[in-house]
Structure 1
Amino acid sequence: MYHNAHQIMKAVYDYFYGQINENNTISIDLRAPSLVGTVQDDPFDCFIEQQLQAAFPELEVVSSGKLTTPDIIIRDKRTGVIVGIEVKKLIQKVSGADSRGLTMDYNSCLPCGTALIKVGAATTDIPCYYLYALLNNNSSSIVTFILMHGDFINYDFNLHKEAKLANTTEYNHGPYGEGSVRHRAMYTYPNPLNYKLKCFHTRKVFVTKKLECTNLKLTHLVTEDVSRCDIYKNTFFYSIVDNGKEDHSTDPVLIDDIFADCKARKAKKRITASMPVLIE
């Protein structure tokens, strides 16, 4: 029986951590990408859902469906606790690096540690965690596994809700008035799977708020604490939990400004449009 969302997520982390093999990876068996119902269907998302359903028969594990966030909803019907999981994956390059770098795409849905769902006819907000997975280049195993509270990336729920309604379509476009233009916001936010982030790369960790970590009695498994300072000068602390921590007597390392390189980016104005070039 689970009394809060963080207990459920720690149990999910424990399950996947228990799947680590002798190569320090988590073996996966994905169905062929060609065997899909829709172009939005993702074999890895389906794999995670099926694993959770098999591992936690006492919980209700439901896929939200295509193009819906969060990808997976978990509910303990005995206590009424509900939590969402958004699944994000990247494929490792042959060099061992991730395929994105500083940021990754969050498409038209701004990441957030809170999400809206409907329970019957009623709309309610639930906690949301993000499952980040870096797969090896033949997609046979998980190299990096991070189960992270969504607030680590963005805690502004109002901004998240505004983003869900930001997409618009313009009609009567073009010289004949027969076209349309879809104005779709595309968000790129930090990429925890960036191979340069040594606190995450090739590890299998659970990341939650420091207070929740204390409440869950996990402080002996904390390897790093991360301070997150927002644009208003507020500081929030998160803990990186690693079930494999060997020396429980060591104090966690403090990491500041973990995504500093993302902040350093500058807007670039597009001066010329790209076009094909023929050699004279």
Structure 2
Amino acid sequence: MGILNVTPDSFSDGGRFISRDAALVRAEQMIADGADMVDIGGESTRPGAPPVPLEEELARVVPIVEALRNVQVPLSVDTYKPAVMHAVLDAGADMINDIWGFRREGALDAVKDRNCGLCVMHMLGEPRTMQLHEPMYANVVADIRAFFAERVAAVTQAGISAARVSLDPGYGFGKTVEHNYQLLAHLAATQPAGANFPLLAGMSRKSMLGAITGRNAGERLAASVAAAVCAAERGAAILRVHDVAETVDALKVWQATKQADVNRHH
């Protein structure tokens, strides 16, 4: 999943891909580089980010979805506002990626009767304040597993097929560095008991990588690729990344190694 930020203030590529033409070129490049889907975001959700007014978010994302609706890969839209969900689904989006996990009033209604995927993310608090106070969990992996179980129940009770759902532990969304690495190490254990939902991992360029490497957001390519491979190794089905070509190369090496291992044992 290639990240297409159409925001002036994203932490890692803010402002570079705002215009419709630039966004199209960027999306086409990511697809050429091997992206299987594109995730379009019109509101920065980095820690401390201010909320974006509804009209502004609509003006940013709807034209991009309309312009990209004929590319050959699914389009995901990163939003938690039900009105934006309605508008982008009308415009041709295939998936809604909600940092609030469809907890806001009207969110489940917005997607219920649509043929779209849902990515349910875990977040403690809200973007503006989620990293201000030390986030606390009894057991971060178990707590997120319980959150996912509760959200899956809410989704299915709304009449939405569980087959449409993927889950994202929300790296960096109300978590300490230690919490983030616990969640990476035990990614598969965040699955609700007996379930097998596609797990999404989004760590690209995040501060959890800077904390380990001492590098700023623009210098975290190697760390991002390593994190993506670690997540794939631990069961991630979807990797949300800025650097598509590099991640695809790393995954090809990882997959070839796995295949060689399988071949040897047959």
Range into which the TM-score falls when normalised by the shorter chain = 0.3 to 0.5
- Structure having the larger proportion of residues in helix: 2
TM-score by length of 2: 0.33
TM-score by length of 1: 0.32
